Amino acid sequence: MKVIDPCTLVLFGASGNLSRIKLMPGLFRLDQAGRLPEKMAILSVGRGQVSREDWLKDIKGMLDAKFPKGYDQNVFNRFIERNHYHANPPEDANAFQRLKETLADEKVFPQNLAYFLSVRPSDFADVVDKLAAVGLTKEDKYWRRVVIEKPFGTDLASAKELQASISKHLKESQIYRIDHYLGKSALMNIMLQRFTNAVLDPIWNNQYIDHVQITNTEMLGVGERTQFYDATGALRDMIQSHILQTMALTAMEMPKELTPDAIRAEKIKVLEAIRPIPVNEIDQYAFRAQYAAGEIKGEKVPGYLEELGDNSSVVETYAALKLFIDNPRWKGVPFYIRTAKRLHEADTRISIRFKKAPLQIGDGQDQNWLMLGIQPRECIKLEIQSKIPGLDIKTRTIQLDAANRQDGDESIDAYEALLLNLMEGDNSLYLHINEVEAQWRLVDPVIETWAKNRKPVHQYPAGSTDPEASKVIFEHEDQFWRYSIELGGDEK
């Protein structure tokens, strides 16, 4: 267990949903687990004037909602004493000077400061500017760290602009670009399963692997986020961040050591080695669609355009890309990545199909698959061929199935892991600027090309499987979208 310096977490946007649902409960759970340093304070920053007494009552309400079965009163008493509130009215020109004066009380606030910016993306640079203007980003005697929530820009140009603005005041080591997906236990497990098992590494290359699929599908629609989603789309929302990070962990080389810098260096190498998608052949590399009216679990649901109230939208709720990594390990292996809303199942997984076995018995013998389940079930499954008992020489597919999560295992929310990493100074699960830029550089040409093409987008009924037309990106006719990791849950 790492020793954490005494510190103060300054939480901007403390009254927002992220704070109420994830951050405050996550910090409480870390305190419950004994992972917060004894001398650690939380200063919540909000726009309105709120007394400390009222704020502590509000925090109790957050915890009551998150833990309806109750919680340890002693832990609660300890946690509540850590909490303080500071009003930062937007019209107050001296708000950040007053914040500095509040934080200067060393008896209450340890001087190592972590700022969590749970604010609008358009406010990221402004908050950093104002912190710097009053000297709250300087690391003369103590460390200063700034967490910036997703998204970091909306394209490569805006990401570079934001980086230029905040890097005037902060070193790269001070900037923690959060992608909460990287805090998921199952995602962190990808690297460990690969590199701590001698059976996997020799076959983790283009000599044995036919292709790799990285999938994130949901049964939910866009809900009340129609305007946000129509300005974002599936490519920006999921592929540019979560799915490309999953791909990097799947494809990276083993780091020289398990340090934050070494791990991020290998991810950066993978992301920068992904071949740019040729825009003049985009239809063979990228596919998009929108969900139409359909049925989910027996309930009729409207289509995306109906929910939006605008039939002219060409924003995708389904996006699939074919990518290649131009390095010796992965040369020629297609990576098919996809995300979708309102599909027939909710599943996040990595599916790896191996090449045909040297011995083929009969027509249509299944190929081996290795599947890493991320959610809802954390597991690893291997499908192999086995002889069917009897007089004839016939085989069938059997599964070796192991759950990563077992009874009694600790359940950790992604934000809990990332908050702990922040206080420890471990940024391996936070994004380096080179990762951010490489991801935007890859998807920007597709986003721009799709935005210019105003033809109606392919429709798929809500609750259906992948659109048949999406198979246009496959390299070979015998490739297909792998569905549930249950045996027989694939499509041929």
Does a cis peptide bond (omega within 30 degrees of 0) precede residue 376?
Answer: yes
Alpha-carbon gap, residue 169 to 129, rounded angstroms: 7
Tell me if 354 sits within 8 A of 203, measured CB to CB.
yes
Alpha-carbon gap, residue 263 to 261, rounded angstroms: 6
User: Which of 38-58 are b and which e, b meaning 16 or more Cβ less than 10 Å from the residue's Cβ?
Assistant: eebbbbbbbbeebeeeebbeb
Q: Which residues make Cβ contacts (< 8 Å) with residue 218, sequence separation at least 6? A: 340, 341, 342, 343, 346
Alpha-carbon gap, residue 252 to 143, rounded angstroms: 31
Q: In what order do the strands lie in the sheet with 113-117?
A: 83-87, 40-46, 7-12, 113-117, 144-148, 175-178, 430-431
Active site residue 242: yes
**Active-site hit among 86, 169, 242, 344:** 242
Tell me if 79 sits within 8 A of 23, measured CB to CB.
no
Strand 347-354 vs strand 83-87: parallel, antiparallel, or unpaired?
unpaired
Q: Active-site residues: which are they?
A: 242
